[in-house]
Amino acid sequence: MVSKSVDPTSIPPFVIITGLSGSGMSSATNAFEDLGYFCVDNLPLTMLQTFSRLLIPNEEESKAIEKAALVINIRERHFLSEFPNELKKLEKKKLKPFVLFFEASDDVLRRRFSETRRPHPADKGSGLLRSIRSERRAMKEIRNTADLIIDTSEHTVHTLRRLILQKFGHAKQISPLKVQIVSFGHKYGNPRDVDLLFDVRHLPNPYFELSLRDLTGEDKRIVKYLDKNPDVRETISRFLDLIEYLLPFYQKEGKSYLSIGVGCTGGKHRSVMVSNAIKDALKKAGYSVSVAHRDMQK
């Protein structure tokens, strides 16, 4: 990542996203949308001055677009020749867009185009690698005008999103990882789309205690019955060790939600108690956690 002397504390209200084809411009646009930017993908360069009027308040329309991010790239026919002149026109209107340039290594770009099977916009029949290198040379002057250059070679979609949120968002706009815990009964089927799945059917089952059978895992008598068993405490402790070890890695990947399933036979006693214990421990550790008991009332 290369940047000019830009004030890191200021959030630019007007961003122009450009760069090499396949370098992640569309993924970046999604992140800007999450930050509340009005986004336009592949805006024709000839429309840039017209669009800029929406950013300047006037007497007839006092409210302008507060934040905008535009993607303009080599697919625009007049991009290479006219882009510098269009920037100068904007400066005369006292609009100074923040130019964000994305790039990646030749090997990474070649792999991305091979995986998506999309044609490279600069391909004139000379092959993919030559097309990538040709575009890189053609974009050299545009690259030199950039306020920030981001190499996405080592980024996933998730880490790139997090980088954009950190660079262009206020701290309060960067959503923390939200942990969602669902207790369930295996006899009713596993929940869909869970990231981590824990089975607690090895723990003592209150169902076989007649005085406890009709209660749920949220009842103090069930909690006391299970908590006095060392195997229950050890299981919860080991689950928490694993979860707390993994959570920073999920955060680093830019994951917004982590879903954890905890299952017992019927989803009424053990899974409910264990889910609540995990929730309480993670909340105490500062994580944003919610819990749902899917089968508790069945």
11 lies in the same domain as 98? yes
pLDDT of the residue at 276: 97
Q: Is residue 19 part of a domain?
A: yes
Residue 20 has pLDDT above 90, yes or no: yes
Q: Is residue 166 part of a domain?
A: yes
pLDDT of the residue at 43: 85
166 lies in the same domain as 195? no
6 lies in the same domain as 129? yes
86 lies in the same domain as 9? yes
Q: Is residue 50 part of a domain?
A: yes
Residue 71 has pLDDT above 60, yes or no: yes
123 lies in the same domain as 215? no
* Domain final residue, candidates 151, 173, 195: 173
* Domain final residue, candidates 123, 146, 173: 173
Instruction: Identify which has the larger pLDDT, 197 or 9.
Output: 197
Residue 253 has pLDDT above 50, yes or no: yes
What number is the average pLDDT over the span 57-65?
A: 64
Q: Is residue 298 part of a domain?
A: no
What number is the average pLDDT over the span 192-215?
A: 95
**What does the pLDDT look like over 105-124, one tens digit per residue?**
999 999 998 887 778 887 77
pLDDT of the residue at 82: 85
**What does the pLDDT look like over 126-137, one tens digit per residue?**
788 999 999 999
92 lies in the same domain as 213? no
pLDDT band at 11 (very low <50, low <70, confident <90, very high): confident
Instruction: Identify which has the larger pLDDT, 159 or 6.
Output: 159
What's the domain count of the chain? 2
User: What's the token pair of residue 11?
Assistant: 């959030």
Residue 59 has pLDDT above 70, yes or no: no
pLDDT band at 77 (very low <50, low <70, confident <90, very high): low
142 lies in the same domain as 24? yes
On whether the pTM is more than 0.85, the answer is no
Mean pLDDT over the full length of the chain: 88
Name 3's Cβ contacts closer than 8 Å, sequence gap at least 6. Answer: 147, 148, 149
55 lies in the same domain as 38? yes
Q: How large is the angle between the packed helices 220-227 and 230-252, nearest 10 degrees?
A: 100
pLDDT of the residue at 72: 87
165 lies in the same domain as 182? no
23 lies in the same domain as 161? yes
Q: Residue 278 belongs to what domain range?
A: 178-293
Name 94's Cβ contacts closer than 8 Å, sequence gap at least 6. Answer: none
What number is the average pLDDT over the span 46-72?
A: 80
What number is the average pLDDT over the span 20-33?
A: 92
191 lies in the same domain as 166? no
* Domain final residue, candidates 173, 201, 231: 173
CATH code: domain of residue 105:
3.40.50.300
What number is the average pLDDT over the span 38-65?
A: 80
Residue 202 has pLDDT above 70, yes or no: yes
Residue 159 and residue 254 in contact, taking contact as beta carbons nearer than 8 Å:
yes
pLDDT of the residue at 5: 43
16 lies in the same domain as 159? yes
3-state secondary structure the chain: CEECCCCCCCCCCEEEEEECCCCCHHHHHHHHHHCCCEEECCCCHHHHHHHHHHHCCCCCCCCCCCCEEEECCCCCCCHHHHHHHHHHHHHHCCCCCEEEEEECCHHHHHHHHHHHCCCCCCCCCCCHHHHHHHHHHHCHHHHHCCCEEEECCCCCHHHHHHHHHHHHCCHHHCCCCEEEEEEEEHHHCCCCCCCEEEECCCCCCHHHCCCCCCCCCCCHHHHHHHHCCHHHHHHHHHHHHHHHHHHHHHHHCCCCEEEEEEEECCCCCHHHHHHHHHHHHHHHCCCEEEEEECCCCC
pLDDT of the residue at 189: 93
What number is the average pLDDT over the span 230-245?
A: 97
pLDDT of the residue at 8: 46
